[in-house]
Amino acid sequence: MIYLLHQYFGINLFGYITVRAGFSFFIALFLTLYFMPRFIAWATRTLSTQPINEWAPERHQLKVNTPTMGGVVFILSTIVASLLTMKLSNLFAWGGILTLFLFMLIGFKDDYAKVRKNENLAGLKARTKLFLQIGSAGIIALFLYSYNGFNTQLYLPFIKNPIFDMGFFAIFFWILVIIATSNAVNLTDGLDGLATVPSIASLGSFAFIIYIIGNVKFSEYLLFPHFHIAEVMIIVTALMGALFGFLWYNCHPAEVFMGDSGSLTIGAFLGYIAIITKSEFLLILIGLIFLIETLSVILQVGSFKLRKKRIFLMAPLHHHFEMKKWSENKIIVRFWMVAILSNILALITLKIR
């Protein structure tokens, strides 16, 4: 709606992407800071708290009364802030909003089932959850495939030209990217604030890339493809602001968890941004900590099935360090450091094309 002040009243200030991105950041931040304590109070009264898996490290049992589903608050804050500040005619921005909304619903349904039955493993069945993710990702992929302002070419880091055109198969590749990233962030969300800061770092990198691709001069100079995706940066900064607000209550010791409604949604949105910025493979570096956590689970399960031996004391990887008696803060901060450093490296690669 802020853009209308520029469109109909000639206030040029509100025509700038960077200005509206700043507004979206702070609107989402303050909305989250305002509503989160009220949500925590409601969740505590109604016993909407996080069920703890009996196989989790022992100190996790101390978190049994911590409210969950905080993701609903910061995702809705992101959507409201975005709608207030973005240019409503931009279809790429609406694709981002759709991604946030669909995956928030999936996560909420999973969280609610766990809370209602008071059991960590009582959420959606794995098959049902995957089916809903495939369906939602498929809607988003079909939307991008049918949009004339976008193409199906595949890019690799360090190579200035696309390596080939995926054509119709791009739909399946994009579905895979969205689902894989969604579940990777979900696996990482196991300690207080562990997934929050790497998500902010990844979003910050993508905000920069979106600004480059959305600007003709910058995209030509850095040999990037050009699409009209600059408005998506407003959603990215809104989510960053909302996550900063959430971190205020999620840092150790956490007063609230984001739940699947938050982690699945953040991951899906990161996948969506990677697709529209043609950074699907750069996402490996931008989301390195999420990749490491996911690989630790794959290796653990594969090793146990093939050799009947475990590689780690427990997976995902952050649980391994918990079993080695590392303090929770040490694990969290060191994972944050890896995430920030990997995003710095990702941004350095942008000029090497």
118 pLDDT more than 90: no
pLDDT of residue 87: 92
76 found inside a domain:
yes
199 pLDDT more than 70: yes
pLDDT of residue 117: 72
49 found inside a domain:
yes
pLDDT of residue 25: 98
Instruction: Give mean pLDDT, residues 102-107.
Output: 97
Which residue from 266, 275, 105, 291 is spatially nearest to 184, judged by alpha carbons? 291
14 pLDDT more than 90: no
Instruction: Give mean pLDDT, residues 99-111.
Output: 96
Structural domain boundaries, residue 146: 2-287
Strand partners of residue 154: 164
Cα 99 to chain centroid distance, Å, stands at: 10
Residue corresponding to tokens 């990198």: 205
130 found inside a domain:
yes
Q: Which residue has the higher pLDDT, 330 or 215?
A: 330
Confidence of residue 216 (pLDDT cuts 50, 70, 90): low
Quote the number of domains for the chain. Answer: 1
330 found inside a domain:
no
Q: Which residue has the higher pLDDT, 82 or 161?
A: 82
Sequence-ordered list of residues with C-beta below 8 angstroms from that of 271, at least 6 positions apart, any chain: 137, 174, 177, 178, 179, 180, 181, 182, 283
Phi first, then psi, for residue 295 (nearest 5°) are -60, -35
Token pair of 153 as six digits: 């070419």
pLDDT of residue 8: 55
Tell whether omega for the bond before 316 is within 30 degrees of 0, i.e. cis. yes
168 found inside a domain:
yes
331 found inside a domain:
no
231 found inside a domain:
yes
Confidence of residue 126 (pLDDT cuts 50, 70, 90): confident
Confidence of residue 4 (pLDDT cuts 50, 70, 90): low
Instruction: Give CA–CA dist 324/319, Å, rounded.
Output: 9
